[in-house]
């Protein structure tokens, strides 16, 4: 997500930024614990949160836990009233 003046950010932007920060922190912990042979197998970065068709950053070691967390974050935003086609309330 490109730098934005916080006064221009919507509640969705703040929520997504918070979720991305959380996922990235969790990812650093998981990646730190990853075995060297996992990296040799070419596991990559894959999970992306999309709101209104806009990707809000690829996050996560290619891991089902992180894919599930990104999906849960997107569903939570939709449950809060975000229109997935526009990214707006």
DSSP state for residue 58 in the 8-state scheme:
E
CB 46 within 8 A of CB 60: yes
pTM metric for this prediction: 0.31
What distance in Å separates the CA atoms of residue 12 and residue 65, rounded to the nearest whole number? 23
Classify strands 45-51 and 54-61 as parallel, antiparallel or unpaired. antiparallel
Segment 65-78, tens digit of pLDDT: 556 666 666 777 77
Q: How confident is the model at residue 81 (pLDDT cuts 50, 70, 90)?
A: confident
- Angstrom distances, CA of residue 84 to CA of 49, 50, 81: 11, 8, 9
Check residue 78 and give its pLDDT: 73
Question: When comparing pLDDT for 47 and 83, which is higher?
Answer: 83
pLDDT tens digits along 22-66: 766 665 555 555 555 455 555 444 445 555 555 555 444 445 555
């Amino acid at each position: 997500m490109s730098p934005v003046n916080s006064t221009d950010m919507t509640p969705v932007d703040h929520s997504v930024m918070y979720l991305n920060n959380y996922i990235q922190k969790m990812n650093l912990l998981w990646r730190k614990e990853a075995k060297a042979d996992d990296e040799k197998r070419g596991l990559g970065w894959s999970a992306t949160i999309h709101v209104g068709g806009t990707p809000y950053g690829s996050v996560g070691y290619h891991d089902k836990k992180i894919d599930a967390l990104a999906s849960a974050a997107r569903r939570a935003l939709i449950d809060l009233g975000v229109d997935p086609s526009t990214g707006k309330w």
